[in-house]
Structure formats: C-alpha cells, structure tokens
Amino acid sequence: MSKQITVTTPLLPDLDDFSEMLKEVWASRWITNNGQFHQRLESALCEYLKVPYISLFTNGTLPLLTALQALRISGEVITTPYSFVATTHSIWWNGIKPVFVDIDPTNCGMDPDCIEAAITPRTTAIMPVHCYGKPCDIIRIQQIADKYGLKVIYDAAHAFGVEVNGKSILEYGDLSTLSFHATKVFTTIEGGAMIMHDKATKERIDYLKNFGFESETEVIAPGINSKMDEVRAVYGLLNLRQVDAAIEARHKVAIKYRSALKNVKGIRYFNDMPGVKHNYSYFPIFVNADEYGMTRDELYDTMRENGVFGRRYFYPLISTFSTYRGLPSASPDNLPNATRVANEVICLPMHHQLSDNDVNRILSLIVR
C-alpha cells in the first residue's frame, strides 16, 4: 500500500540542537513566563517579520480574544464566514455580535463593498482574514475603517512572512494575529502571536496575557493566561533558521501544481499576486462540477480512497454552524460567493517534504 499524503507536515527542528537548547532551559530552572528564550524569539521574529513589536501567545486563538479586549471592542464586529471557527469564536466569547459579509472570490478575503454596506451604529471593528496567506484589500479596508471610525484587527494566521511591496502585511490595521500551530509555515507546535505598532500597546497586551499582572502585587486588568513556555520558544527559534528553505520548497510545489493544472477545465487556483511575497501556506483548488465533470466531494473522496488527504478549507462556512446560523447576516442569500467557494474548495497537500513522486501522484488523481 502506498503511503498516505496529508495536507501538511510539521516543520521539525534538528533534534541535536533542540536537545542542547533544552539543556539550557533545564539548567536555568526557568521554563515559562517571559524567560530568556521567549524574549529571544520575540526579538528574532520582530527582525524576520519586519515589525516593531510582537507578543507571543500559547496558541493562535488567544491573541484574537485578547486583541478585542485590548481595543475595548463592543457591539458588532464585521467579519468573514470563510475562515477557521476561531475567528468568529473570539468575537462571540467577548460578548460581541459577529456580522458576516461576503467574500471576494479572487482572494477569498472580505469584499470591501459588502463591509461598508454592513456597518450600523453598533459597529466598532472589522476583523478580516488574510485567507491562505493572500492579502485582503488592505487599502480599501483601512479607508472604510477611517471613514467610520472603526478598529481593524487582522486574523493573519496564514500570513507569516507575507509582504506587500516590501512591507510586512502585519503592519496594516490596528493589530494583527498569527498562529504557530503545527500545520503552519512557521510553527512552535502550538503557539501564536500578536503584532502591534507601539510600546504602550505591547505593554498592555503583555499584562493581559499574564492574568493582568503589572507587578507581583498589582493586577491592572482582567487578563487571561496565554503565555508561551520556554520549550516552545526553543522550538520556534530553531524553526526560524529553516523557514525560508521550507517556504522555497513549498514554492516549487506550487509551480508544479500550477503547471499541471493550468489547462484542466473546471479547476481554478490562485496565481501569485503582483508585488506580494507569498509564503505558500496553502494551495486551494476550486472545482466547478459542470465543467470538470465531477463534484468537489467526488474528487475529494477519490483522493482519500487513494491515500491523498486534502482538506476542504473552509467548508462548511462558519455561518452554517448552530451557534451562528440564526444571525440575519448568516443567511446564504447574504453570502453567495462564500457559499459557492466553500462548496468548491479542496486544499491540496502543500508542505516542504513533498517529493516529486508525491506531487505526481496527487496530480494523477486530478488531471484526467
């Protein structure tokens, strides 16, 4: 039986280097709460990502929750139904009403025209997603936010290292958040981060992620426990050494996919966007059943039967889940593009360990 091919595989550090650095952690007797490796990783990531301030978290969901707290967001937040559920869950957990708007199918980000149409007197913020690492329409979103006095929090879980015209995508909006889950381009096994633009906000975020402690005896806000430990910080420091090579390997896979799929009727995919430095975090294809002669789910099942495990990111839409489907904005009539794309998408395996044989085997199931 041939080996199974999955959507992703974690970026693993050199075990000898990992062991040596762990010895330093044990020797220091400091394994969590802003230790030396935590500080080193924050500094290294600021340099790599070209951002002024970053705060590490224990996963990618808690930065979203904390960003809403830090900016004192209330009322309604406009967001996308086409994302991982953590995006909308973070809004709900803060007692805020999520308002879904449709997406632009050319990048799967929120359609700015739909954003403006959804603004009400209760709207206080916009939470867009750089889906698959493809930048949203950052200029128009900021123009809308400025026009109506709204905050912008970007869920940039997929956008590690992405740049637009040489500038980090994380520099846009009031705050941005990252995920360092094992499925991501850069990983700390579990982990995440928030990017901010000034020192005062950095200090406030650092208080909030540590129960609100300002000092040993003073709590200044109702914070939460979301600190990254030293072991995962070590893991991240080592992975940062090899992330560029991993991204380049993914790029080569993307080139092979595009070359083979460019003339396949009924299969759509994304090309690189002009002026954008991509990280090739995902490779989604979109199946038009009428043109391709097979439904998305039929192709998905065929792949699985042959040991190729793609993922239908993001199906079903968040707006269809029981928690959210009763919201007026969750109506499929309000979300025609998102509904169609969710019913067409399969993310093909995309990671740094895919061999030519792996890629050819995947393509043999699609190119008929």
pLDDT digits (tens, 9 = 90+) for 256-282: 999 999 999 999 999 999 999 999 999
pLDDT score of 198: 97
Instruction: Say whether pLDDT at 218 is over 80.
Output: yes
pLDDT score of 177: 98
Instruction: Say whether pLDDT at 341 is over 80.
Output: yes
**What whole-number percentage of the chain has pLDDT above 70?**
100
Instruction: Say whether pLDDT at 66 is over 70.
Output: yes
Does 299 reside within a domain? yes
Neighbour tally for 76: CB within 10 Å: 20
pLDDT bucket at 209, cuts 50 / 70 / 90 = very high
**Contact yes or no for 8/282 (Cβ under 8 A):** no
Neighbour tally for 54: CB within 10 Å: 22
Does 3 reside within a domain? no
Residues 211 and 247 in one domain: no
Q: Rounded distance, CA 188 to CA 18, Å? A: 12
Does 169 reside within a domain? yes
**Contact yes or no for 240/45 (Cβ under 8 A):** yes
Q: How many domains does the chain have?
A: 2
To the nearest 10 degrees (0 to 180), the angle between helices 15-28 and 230-240 is: 150
Residues 120 and 160 in one domain: yes
Mean pLDDT in residue range 195-215: 96
Domain final residue, candidates 184, 211, 240: 240
Residues 156 and 83 in one domain: yes
Domain final residue, candidates 223, 240, 257: 240
pLDDT digits (tens, 9 = 90+) for 275-328: 999 999 999 999 999 999 999 999 999 999 999 999 999 999 999 999 999 999
Q: In this structure, what CATH number is given to the domain that contains residue 55?
A: 3.40.640.10
328: which DSSP letter? G
Does 172 reside within a domain? yes
**Contact yes or no for 164/137 (Cβ under 8 A):** no
pLDDT score of 3: 87
pLDDT score of 219: 95
Does 282 reside within a domain? yes
136: which DSSP letter? -
Instruction: Say whether pLDDT at 255 is over 70.
Output: yes
Domain final residue, candidates 212, 240, 268: 240
Does 261 reside within a domain? yes
pLDDT score of 21: 96
Mean pLDDT in residue range 104-122: 97
pLDDT score of 8: 92
Query: What does the mean pLDDT of the chain come to?
Result: 97
Residues 149 and 111 in one domain: yes
Residue 109 is inside which H or E element, if any? strand 109-110
Residues 129 and 202 in one domain: yes
Residues 112 and 141 in one domain: yes
Does 10 reside within a domain? no
Does 188 reside within a domain? yes
Residues 253 and 227 in one domain: no
Q: In this structure, what CATH number is given to the domain that contains residue 314?
A: 3.90.1150.10
Mean pLDDT in residue range 213-218: 93
Partnered with residue 186 across adjacent β-strands are none
pLDDT digits (tens, 9 = 90+) for 82-107: 999 999 999 999 999 999 999 999 99
Residues 328 and 181 in one domain: no
Residues 28 and 163 in one domain: yes
pLDDT score of 2: 72
Residues 169 and 257 in one domain: no
Mean pLDDT in residue range 160-185: 97
pLDDT bucket at 1, cuts 50 / 70 / 90 = low
Domain span including residue 248: 243-364
Residues 209 and 258 in one domain: no
pLDDT score of 368: 84
**What whole-number percentage of the chain has pLDDT above 90?**
99
Residues 149 and 123 in one domain: yes
pLDDT score of 141: 98
